[in-house]
Amino acid sequence: MIAGLSFALPPANEATTAPERRRVERDGVRLLVTDRATGAHHDAAFRDLPRFLRRGDLLVVNDSATIPAALAARAANGARFTVHLSTRISAELWVAEPRERTVSAGERARLDDEGSVTFLAPVEAEQSRLWYVLLDVPEPVDAFVDRHGAPIRYRYVAEALPLAAYQTIFARVRGSAEMPSAGRPFSARVLAGIRAAGAELAAITLHTGVSSAERHERPYREWFDVAATTASAVHAARSAGGRLIAVGTTVVRALESAAAGEEVVAANGWTDLIVTRERGTTVVDALLTGFHEPQASHLDLLRAFASDALLESAYEHALASGYLWHEFGDVHLLA
């Protein structure tokens, strides 16, 4: 069904709303565990995650909080469209994506409350999906975005949901345009189970930009922070023989960006690192992640953890077994 990790995603495998709206608890979504040593696939609920951990394992999560990054805009001719804020460069300067409209350099569009957005230049000359934009708003940008923005919502999500639905239990540092969704199923019950299993948790921050799944695009530069306390926790776990398990592809990118040889050191700044099979991973041992769309660049990162044959087998199993995709869907542990 999957040829070279290219496949069709049936509508039945799309999560169209938050689990809670489907009468499923956050930690009640499904968990597919792929054992890379044996090639076996195990079906479980996410709340069973501690069963698949070992004493001494360290799970690293992303504590970036999601912002209401979708802003309503109106072109000079009155046409309405949406601007998705992606990456903050300074208070007023952002990378953003105009939706439902083609824009040109220098174009200015109106926002609510007499605000405006000016499209300065495309981020990459050969494509104009993402633009450098200047926000001119009558109050601090964070306050304006909180008052007038909404969570980014794609066509497969059937209803508008509150921002709280797009936050993980770890959300602490505002800045992500889209939720670091691998962390969404965690609950206080799961955290207690992880510690009872003898595993620990640590956090990094990486602010995610808008998704590029449908366009085969490589990941853009993103801001990250790996604190000294996290670097120390990684060193302790690896020295004791524990596995370093990244909760999400964003965590892989941050940890590998902070790697110095086979050690993780405190680091922060902008990363343009792209993890592929050819590049490999130097510090991350296992990955907990969602199921990724056909042709998504995230699939290239997964290939750093498993062979094409094993990934194809896992995705065929997930499709046939009714696992759900997207940010409100199920999760996959490559261990």
pLDDT at position 145 = 98
Amino acid at position 253, single letter: R
SS (H, E, C) 33-85: EECCCCCCEEEEEHHHHHHHCCCCCEEEEECEEECCCEEEEECCCCCEEEEEE
Backbone angles phi, psi at 204, to 5 degrees: -120, 170
Q: Which domains are assigned to the chain?
A: 11-66+161-334 (3.40.1780.10), 70-148 (2.40.10)
Identify the three-state secondary structure at position 287. Answer: strand
Please list the residues that pair with 286 across neighbouring strands: 245
Candidates 63, 85, 275, 93; CA nearest to 179 is 63
Euclidean distance between CA atoms 248 and 255, whole angstroms: 11
pLDDT at position 1 = 42
Please state, rounded to an integer, the average pLDDT across all residues of the chain. Answer: 94
Is residue 219 very low, low, confident or very high in pLDDT (cuts 50, 70, 90)? confident
pTM of the model: 0.94
pLDDT in tens, 136-177: 999 999 999 999 999 999 999 999 999 999 999 999 999 999
Mean of the pLDDT values across residues 122-133?
A: 86
pLDDT in tens, 245-270: 999 999 999 999 999 999 999 999 99
Q: Name the strand (E) or helix (H) holding 118.
A: strand 116-124
> Which range has the worst mean pLDDT, 81-85, 174-178, 228-232, 300-304?
300-304
Which residue did the predictor score with more confidence, 214 or 234? 234
Q: Sort residue 198 into left (φ over 0), alpha (ψ -120 to 50) or beta.
A: left
Q: Is the pLDDT of residue 2 over 60?
A: no
Torsion of CA 78, 80, 81, 87, to 10 degrees: 70
71 to 98, 156, 221: CA distances (angstroms): 10, 19, 22
Question: What are the residues whose beta carbons fall under 8 Å from the beta carbon of 138, sequence distance 6 or more?
Answer: 113, 114, 115, 144
> Which range has the worst mean pLDDT, 22-26, 103-107, 127-131, 256-260?
127-131
Mean of the pLDDT values across residues 108-126?
A: 93
pLDDT at position 294 = 82
DSSP secondary structure, 176-212, as one string = ESS--GGGTT--HHHHHHHHHTT-EEEEEEE------
pLDDT at position 125 = 76
Q: Is the pLDDT of residue 215 over 60?
A: no
Euclidean distance between CA atoms 252 and 244, whole angstroms: 10
The percent of residues in the chain predicted with pLDDT above 90, rounded, is 89
Q: Is the pLDDT of residue 244 over 70?
A: yes
Q: Give exposure, 258-280, as e/b (b: 16+ Cβ within 10 Å).
A: bbeeeebeebbeebebebeeeee
Answer yes or no: are the C-beta atoms of 45 and 29 closer than 8 Å. Answer: yes
